Amino acid sequence: MKVRASAPGKAILFGEHAVVYGKPAIAVAVDKRARVTIKEGTNDNTEVKIPKLDIDAVIKHETGRVTPVNVSQVERGKFDAGIMEYIQVALSQLGTPLDGLKVEVDLEIPIGAGLGSSAAITVATLAAAARYTQAEMTLETLAHTAHQVELQVQGAASPLDTTVSTKGGFIYFTREKGALKIKPALEMPLVVGYTSQPGNTGALVEGVRQLREAHPFIVNPILEVMEDLANQAREYIIQGEEKEVGELMNINQGLLDALGVNTDELSRLVYRARHAGALGSKLTGAGGGGSIIAYCPGKTREVLEELESIENAFQVGISSQGVTW
C-alpha cells in the first residue's frame, strides 16, 4: 500500500511573534509544498528519506531512536535531526503503531527560511499517516494535531503555521476565533529573499518572551500596535488598497526590529527590495535569519533581479489549496 499527501508552506504578512500572545495575524499559503509518501517497509524499523536535505535515516522500532543510515552525513554536519523529530512525533500521534514504514519527503520549501517548512512536513506526514491507517480526521483535527506536534518539538509555537498549511489561501487568525478566510481584492505578487542562514524559531520566541518580561511597559504596547496593524491590513486587503498594504508591511518590519528579531542580512534584503520598487518588504516568520518577503505589484522582475544579485531569491504564488490527501 502506498499513500501520498502534501501541504503548502506559508508566508506571514502581519503579526508574527504577536500571534504568540493572542494577537491576530495574517498569513498566506504559498505554492511551495512538502509532499510525503508512505508505504510498507521491509522490516520493523521506519525508514525516512528526504533527498533534498540528503537525509537517509531509520527510526528504530525498539527505542524510537533516530539513526542516520549514512555516517558520513554526520561527519559532514549535514544530518538534520531536528526535522526528523517532527516526522517521528507526527507518526506517533494516531494511536496506532506505525512501525515498518518507508517514508519519503519531497521538499520544495527551504528549511529555516520562515516559510513554514516544519508545519508543512508535519501536516503532510499526519495526513499521509491518516490515509495509511484509514483513520478519519477532519481539517480542524488535523490542524490541531499538527500544532500539538510543533509544541512538543519546539516547546512554544503558534497554531498559525499549521492552520495555514492545512487550509490554504489567505488566513486571518486569532486565538479566539481561529482561522478566517480572507477574500482579497488585490493580487499578491511576492518575492522571497532567503539569507541561507536559518532562524531558530524556539530561541527567537523565547527571546521575545524574555524581552517582554524584562520590559513589559515597552513590549506590550508594541504588541498592541501590531494587533491594530493586522486588523487594518485585513481591511486594506479586502478593499484592494495596494499602497496601504505595502506601507503597513514596512511599519510591521520596524516593530519586529524593535523586538530584536531582525538581522543585518535581513535589513539589507528589505531595503534593497524597496529600492527596486517593492511597495512593502519585511522579514517573515520568526526572524533571526531566514527570509524576507517583498510585495511588488508591477515590479516583480526588478525586485527579483535585485535580490538575486545579493542572495537567494525566488517568486512565490498564493496557493488557495491547503493539504491534499
Nearest to 92 by CA among 63, 64, 70: 64
Cα separation of 235 and 218, whole Å? 27
Cα separation of 164 and 66, whole Å? 29
* Residue among 161, 228, 257, 264 flagged as catalytic: 161
Cα separation of 184 and 170, whole Å? 8
| Number of alpha carbons in the 13 Å side-chain half-sphere of residue 161 | 29
Q: Are 102 and 38 in contact (CB under 8 A)?
A: yes
Q: Are 193 and 311 in contact (CB under 8 A)?
A: yes
Q: Are 274 and 281 in contact (CB under 8 A)?
A: yes
Q: Are 30 and 169 in contact (CB under 8 A)?
A: no
Phi and psi at residue 263, to the nearest 5°: -135, 165
State yes or no: is 99 an active-site residue: no
Secondary element (H or E) of residue 56: strand 55-59
Q: Are 295 and 246 in contact (CB under 8 A)?
A: yes
Nearest to 36 by CA among 159, 126, 147, 169: 126
CA dist 121 → 31, 128, 185, 305 (Å): 14, 10, 30, 30
Q: DSSP state, 114? A: S
Q: How open is the CA angle 157-160-165, to the nearest 5 degrees?
A: 115
| Helices and strands (DSSP H and E) totals, the chain | 10, 12
> Cβ–Cβ contacts within 10 Å for residue 97, how many?
11
Q: Which residues are catalytic?
A: 161
